[in-house]
Amino acid sequence: MFDIKIRLVSMLGLLTVIVLGGLILDYRHMLRRPMRIGIGLALVGIAAGAFLTLCAVLPENHVFGQVFFESQTNKKVVALTFDDGPYSPYTEQVLDVLKEYQVPATFFVVGQNVEKYPELVQRIVNEGHQLGNHTYHHVDLLKSDRKTIEEEIDHTNRVIKAAVGTTPHVVRPPHGFRDPVVMEIMAVRGLKVVEWSIMSRDWTNPGVDVIVDRTVAKVKNGSIILLHDGDGIDSRASRIQSVEATRRIIQTLTAQGYQFVTVDEILAKTEENKS
Ligand SMILES: [Zn+2]
């Protein structure tokens, strides 16, 4: 069967050819009068390239396939998600805060870090949290070939299975980046692609107040909040701001009447609303 799944990079390559072709035609006056069709073609190519790139990087965009970035619900529920771990001592500190407030969360773990800290992954599961796949090397999947993407996902599921005996059914591509081939690979494996609706850019360590304010200001029913207990595969940066922000986000949102749930639970709320 003809495979219609096309990589973003191929689409952008084709559009570049169209843009250059349009500019050359215009320059050579071939399509110039009276309408300057060549320039028009080039502008359409640039606009299409910008559109397709946004489709690949915006967390709420469905053009390349269905992603989950929030839940449509009238219930006061939100989901905390932590990316890039496990990473000692910050994952333990996040888990301690979650335990103190009895709040469940979802951890999108990096396979390489799972192999480094299998006991932390076990603790995540033991304490009632959900696990998600965040690739093995935290790679940009838009720059990876099909075989690499498949191995990044499968290898991570294998090491998670070795650590805790089960495999996740949710995945978050690093940076949220995806294209039709990435989406197809996830679909074949029965993996739901989960993005986020609230991002405080906590990984830049802007200060606890900033992380809390950026998060709390935008929260609504069904929000999926992105935070970080890890730092990719480098694991160099401190995540102490994210740990402290987690505590204050929980305190503030609990006071506002919000309940915290896992990604699975918050997505189930959308289904409840439909029925
Ligand atoms: Zn990440």
Tell me: cis bond preceding 118? Omega within 30 of 0 counts: no
Token output for 123: 């603790």
Q: How far, in Å, from the CA of 19 to the mean position of ligand 1?
A: 33
CB 86 within 8 A of CB 124: yes
- Tell me what pLDDT residue 271 has: 73
Q: pLDDT (tens digit, 9 = 90+) per residue, 54-112?
A: 999 999 999 999 999 999 999 999 999 999 999 999 999 999 999 999 999 999 999 99
Query: Radius of gyration over alpha carbons of the chain, in Å?
Result: 21
Q: How far apart are CA 39 and CA 31, in angstroms?
A: 9
Q: How far, in Å, from the CA of 136 to the mean position of ligand 1?
A: 11
* Percentage of the chain lying above the pLDDT 90 cut: 91
- Tell me what pLDDT residue 214 has: 98
Tell me: cis bond preceding 168? Omega within 30 of 0 counts: no
Residue 141 has pLDDT above 80, yes or no: yes
Q: Which helix (H) or strand (E) is 225 found in, with range?
A: strand 224-228
Q: pLDDT (tens digit, 9 = 90+) per residue, 247-268?
A: 999 999 999 999 999 999 999 9
Q: How far apart are CA 107 and CA 136, in angstroms?
A: 14
Buried/exposed 197-224: b ≥16 CB within 10 Å, e otherwise: bbbbebbebeebebbbbbbbeebebbbb
Judged by DSSP in three states, 131 sits in strand
Q: How far, in Å, from the CA of 228 to the mean position of ligand 1?
A: 8
Query: Which residue from 99, 79, 49, 64 is spatially nearest to 247, judged by alpha carbons?
Result: 99
- Tell me what pLDDT residue 33 has: 79
- Confidence band of 275 (pLDDT split at 50, 70, 90): low
pTM: 0.93
- Average pLDDT across the chain, whole number: 95
Residue 270 has pLDDT above 90, yes or no: no
Q: pLDDT (tens digit, 9 = 90+) per residue, 202-247?
A: 999 999 999 999 999 999 999 999 999 999 888 899 999 999 999 9
- Tell me what pLDDT residue 2 has: 43
Q: pLDDT (tens digit, 9 = 90+) per residue, 159-203?
A: 999 999 999 999 999 999 999 999 999 999 999 999 999 999 999
Q: How far, in Å, from the CA of 109 to the mean position of ligand 1?
A: 8
Q: Residue 234: beta bridge partners?
A: none
Tell me which residues have their CB within 5 A of the ion that is ligand 1: 83-84, 174
Catalytic residue numbers? 83, 228
Chain center to CA of 70: 12
Q: How far, in Å, from the CA of 84 to the mean position of ligand 1?
A: 5
Judged by DSSP in three states, 228 sits in strand
Q: How far apart are CA 260 and CA 83, in angstroms?
A: 17
Residue 1 has pLDDT above 60, yes or no: no
Query: Which residue from 51, 30, 32 is spatially nearest to 40, judged by alpha carbons?
Result: 32
Q: How far, in Å, from the CA of 23 to the mean position of ligand 1?
A: 39
Q: What is the mean pLDDT of residues 17-23?
A: 95
